Amino acid sequence: MIPLPRLQELVLDGIQQLSFPNEPAALYDPLRYILSLGGKRMRPVLTLMGCDVFAGDVKAALPAALGVEVFHNFTLMHDDIMDNAPLRRSKPTVHTKWNSNIAILSGDAMFVESCRLVMQSPDAAVRQVMEVFTKTALEVCEGQQYDMDFESMSEVSIDQYIDMIRLKTAVLLGGSLKMGAIIAGANESDANHLYDFGVNLGVAFQLQDDILDVFGDADKFGKQVGGDILSNKKTFLLLTALNTAQGTTKDSLLQWINTTDQPQQKVIAVTEIYNSLNVREVAEGKMNELYDIALSHLDSIPVDDANKQPLKDLAASLMVRQN
């Protein structure tokens, strides 16, 4: 197996070597800018890992891996417009630094560039890889749309929420892995097990994010605890609480949702309601269930355990238990 740091190096070098035209500057500068903001580059590394599990040639998977990273950054550029986000990785977002029209068009060009990269996959794999890539890309759009829909919906079920985060974030992890597996020549069943590993891990990771936003250590977590509570974001926690709360607890929860002028008290009060309803335990239960499902898919792949160890390690490192 190729050590994780070597795969990360391959991805970083590959990103460094991507070259785009200089003109028109307003089209290609934002693309270079958002790619320069960094990030964990997890998705392209997953593509290389997905290839390496099956002892494939990771260099052959590199263009597809880079395509996935460019695609991911395209979605960030457009999502930032839609979410009206001023900052991305502590730097101005593209639509803030330039303007919305430039962020729309530059994002479009970025998506085209991502297709061109994925199309550089080997002949034997290219059609299947593009099928996974474009199906995943559509699903990511669907997830973002559901996320926007949910903001104005009065009732969202837990299943709807899980499906939304599956589409919005998890399928791209699964798709990244599967693209690598296909390039390595894995059969459909094995490639799908790897996909399901990625998707279930991705949903578990997102649930962890929901939990940490309320119960995490602010220093370790790196962002303000309680942000989701303040913005009334329909997370797994809030939806579970709304589902299970009754009587005065429910009245109190609804009242705090409508409160905007006492932020500190709101975070404390809603957290207390969550505690009284065992919401954290429910969320952790679901998270662990999905994590176990993810690992069982990895177990089902008939290759040496040594080949799967890097993915097991990665999965474990993503699930940082805080207690």
Min dist CB 260 to a copy of itself, Å, is 23
Min dist CB 80 to a copy of itself, Å, is 11
Min dist CB 164 to a copy of itself, Å, is 10
Nearer to a copy of itself, 105 or 319 (CB): 105
Which residue do the tokens 């690598």 mark? 180
Residue type, 253: L
Residue type, 144: Q
- Out of 35, 51, 62, 137, point to the residue binding a copy of itself (CB under 8 A): 137
How many Cα atoms occupy the beta-carbon half-sphere of 86 within 13 Å?
0
φ/ψ bin of 57: left (φ > 0), alpha (ψ from -120 to 50), beta (otherwise): beta
Segment lying near a copy of itself (by CB under 8 A), choices 22-30, 197-205, 244-252, 257-265: 22-30
For residues 292, 46, 114 and 17, what is the CA-based torsion angle, rounded to 10 degrees?
Answer: 160
92 φ, ψ to 5°? -55, 140
Segment lying near a copy of itself (by CB under 8 A), choices 36-44, 137-145, 206-214, 315-323: 137-145
Segment lying near a copy of itself (by CB under 8 A), choices 2-10, 52-60, 130-138, 290-298: 130-138
For residues 255, 261, 265 and 271, what is the CA-based torsion angle, rounded to 10 degrees?
Answer: 50
Nearer to a copy of itself, 81 or 273 (CB): 81
Nearer to a copy of itself, 82 or 320 (CB): 82
Min dist CB 117 to a copy of itself, Å, is 10
Min dist CB 188 to a copy of itself, Å, is 18
Interaction of residue 22 with a copy of itself, rule CB under 8 A: no
Beta bridge mates, 91:
88
Interaction of residue 26 with a copy of itself, rule CB under 8 A: yes
Window 274-303: residues binding a copy of itself (CB under 8 A): none
From residue 110, alpha-carbon distances to 169, 220, 279 in Å are: 19, 33, 40
Which residues touch 320 (CB under 8 Å, ≥6 apart)? 208, 220
- Out of 113, 196, 209, 228, point to the residue binding a copy of itself (CB under 8 A): 113
Helices 58-82 and 42-53 cross at an angle (nearest 10°) of 150
Interaction of residue 145 with a copy of itself, rule CB under 8 A: yes
Window 53-112: residues binding a copy of itself (CB under 8 A): 78, 81-82, 100-102, 104-105, 107-109, 111-112
Min dist CB 156 to a copy of itself, Å, is 13
- Out of 146, 195, 215, 256, point to the residue binding a copy of itself (CB under 8 A): 146
216 φ, ψ to 5°? -80, 165
Min dist CB 144 to a copy of itself, Å, is 6
Separation of alpha carbons 47 and 7, rounded Å: 10
182 φ, ψ to 5°? -65, -40
Neighbour-count burial of 104, counting CB atoms closer than 10 A to its CB (0-12 exposed, 13-18 middle, 19+ buried): middle
Chain contacts with a copy of itself (rule: CB under 8 A): 21, 23-24, 26-27, 78, 81-82, 100-102, 104-105, 107-109, 111-113, 115-116, 119, 123, 126-127, 130-131, 134-135, 137-138, 141-142, 144-146, 148-149
